[in-house]
Amino acid sequence: MVPTQRDSARRTWIIWASLLALFLGALDALVMTAAMPTIIAELGGLHLYAWTYTSYFLARAVALPIFGKLSDMYSTRGLFLFAIGLFLAASIAAGCSPSMEFLVVTRVLQGIGGGGIFALVYVVLTDVSAPEQRARTISFASLVWGVSSLIGPTLGGFIVTWFSWRWIFFINIPLGLFSFYGIAVYFREFRDKAAGKKLDLLGALLLSGFILGLLFLIMTGGRELQVFSLPYFLLGIVTLISGIWFYKVEMRTQNPMLNLSYFKDPSYALGNVLVFFSSFAIFSLFAYAPILLQGALSQTPMQVGYAMLSLSLGWSIGAFVIGRNVIWVGYKKAILLGAVLVVVGTGLTLGFSRTTGLGECFIAFLIVGLGMGFVSLTTLLVVQDSVESANLGVATSFHQFSRTMGGTIGVGLCGGIVTDRLISELTAAGQKLPAELIRMLKESMANLFQQEFQAMVPDGMQPMLQNAVLTSVYLALVIVFVVSLLNLGLSLLLPKK
């Protein structure tokens, strides 16, 4: 039976409201990038700079699977409104922050709200779409990601220049209220719920502990915590215990937080694995290709922006195109084509050198983005089709969680390798960086382009530094290419649908 909410006008309202909520969440981290120097100048707390991002992403990652599970048991509408409301309340608090410590706390709350939005928006879009329209409707979400990537940094700079950094948070309010209104008034759900079942609280706590521990190890290793230090080792042990305990709890509980039996279905398992590896590749490029372009190929920041735009543009176009054609192309062929494109694009990056032009970079990144668009959307459809409607929330949110984890692990792993290789390259060349520069590199490779960093680079060391950057980031490109090949090989195992 076709639900009444699929009426054209009502459906349009719901889709726009959902996409607007997604836009706010996607835009959040991007506009902050341009505002952070101003925020630090006013509030101080430079030592907490990284935590304004880390706290947000940790909270978002934990919230994703929890909101997904809750949406299968309770009202998706109520949970979605709660997530939007929490995000808006946290935005107001962030905009009123009197200190960096307070801002970090509000970023945690924003992360929880953002995680709820990311977990539920795809569930809502699926709920309001007829089966034959589902892929097309979900493809609009990829356009939202592309648009936010395009305007985010520019919008952040504009707001900081002409208004105040506080308005990068306050601007969420009118847009968020419109989204809240659309969902509150027009969305009516019809999926069966498992409300009579008991929530797996122990599983939720253990899963949260495992996620937090794993991401903290990845995101802080070599920076806040030394990899071979006792605290790092102990955190690793606690994380491992949490993961094993979670597995045992989930195997015996009647209503598990994450039904591990789903992974016996090759479509479900491979759908999540493929989006994990694809995200590993593309987000690693998002993070370290700009360092290569600006630090080794001498491209200007504007040129780097144009080149990186092709990744987002390709992703949006790829998802939009396959969303309209996946029915006749087929899931497996669409994913295979996407995986091939990612391999081709990442393979082209291995040919980058000091003489590589902007056009070559643009084409390589565009191809990778197109492939990611094909893979990310189609694997979501595969995962959703692998479970019954009553478990749509947990399946959809875990797909988003797999994408988040793939990107986070890729960026963290490649970051550690690139930084260590860069320092080793400079040391092998007989150049010893000042201790402060090494600290800044470990904190973030992006510090290469800060005026403070450049002013401390010894005379005559710039050419050697450029060569070291090229060699170091090239190693990350090799890793990305190998992961892309693995992704292609695994896509061949996907059952034909």
Supply the pLDDT for residue 452: 66
Which of 250, 253, 247, 251 minimizes the C-alpha distance to 197? Answer: 253
Backbone angles phi, psi at 245, to 5 degrees: -65, -45
Is 70 exceeded by the pLDDT of residue 444? no
- Residue position matching structure tokens 């593309």: 282
Supply the pLDDT for residue 257: 81
Q: What is the Cα–Cα distance from 273 to 280, expressed in whole angstroms? A: 11
**What CATH number belongs to 263-444+453-497?**
1.20.1250.20
Supply the pLDDT for residue 2: 45
Q: What is the Cα–Cα distance from 91 to 111, expressed in whole angstroms? A: 10
Confidence of residue 433 (pLDDT cuts 50, 70, 90): low
Task: Copy the structure tokens of residue 280.
Answer: 């590993």
Supply the pLDDT for residue 342: 94
Supply the pLDDT for residue 1: 41
Average pLDDT over residues 86-92: 93
- Residue position matching structure tokens 């396959």: 322
Is 60 exceeded by the pLDDT of residue 430? no
Encode pLDDT of 222-249 as tens digits.
Answer: 555 666 678 778 888 998 999 899 888 8
Q: What is the Cα–Cα distance from 266 to 428, expressed in whole angstroms? A: 47
Supply the pLDDT for residue 474: 86
Average pLDDT over residues 195-220: 80
Q: Specify the higher pLDDT residue, 336 or 435.
A: 336
Is 60 exceeded by the pLDDT of residue 350? yes
Residues 6+ apart with CB under 8 A from 196: none
Residues 6+ apart with CB under 8 A from 469: 291, 292, 295, 296, 422, 448
As a whole-number percent, the residues of the chain with pLDDT over 90 amount to 21
To the question of domain 1-194 being in CATH 1.20.1250.20, the answer is yes
**Considering the chain, what is the average pLDDT of its residues?**
82
Give the lowest-confidence range in 14-18, 31-35, 95-99.
31-35
Encode pLDDT of 367-403 as tens digits.
Answer: 999 999 999 999 999 998 888 877 888 888 889 889 8
Is 80 exceeded by the pLDDT of residue 31? no
Q: Specify the higher pLDDT residue, 49 or 362.
A: 362
Q: Which own/partner contact pairs does 135-139 have at CB distance under 8 Å and 24+ positions apart? A: 135/322, 135/323, 135/324, 135/326, 135/327, 135/377, 135/378, 135/381, 136/323, 136/324, 137/15, 137/323, 138/323, 138/377, 138/380, 138/381, 139/319, 139/320, 139/322, 139/323, 139/324, 139/377
Which of 318, 290, 327, 292 minimizes the C-alpha distance to 306? Answer: 290
Is 60 exceeded by the pLDDT of residue 341? yes
First and final CA of the chain: distance in angstroms?
A: 24
Encode pLDDT of 108-128 as tens digits.
Answer: 999 999 999 988 998 888 888
Q: What is the Cα–Cα distance from 405 to 250, expressed in whole angstroms? A: 20
Supply the pLDDT for residue 488: 94
Encode pLDDT of 125-151 as tens digits.
Answer: 888 877 778 888 888 888 888 778 777
Which of 51, 29, 43, 54 minimizes the C-alpha distance to 100? Answer: 43
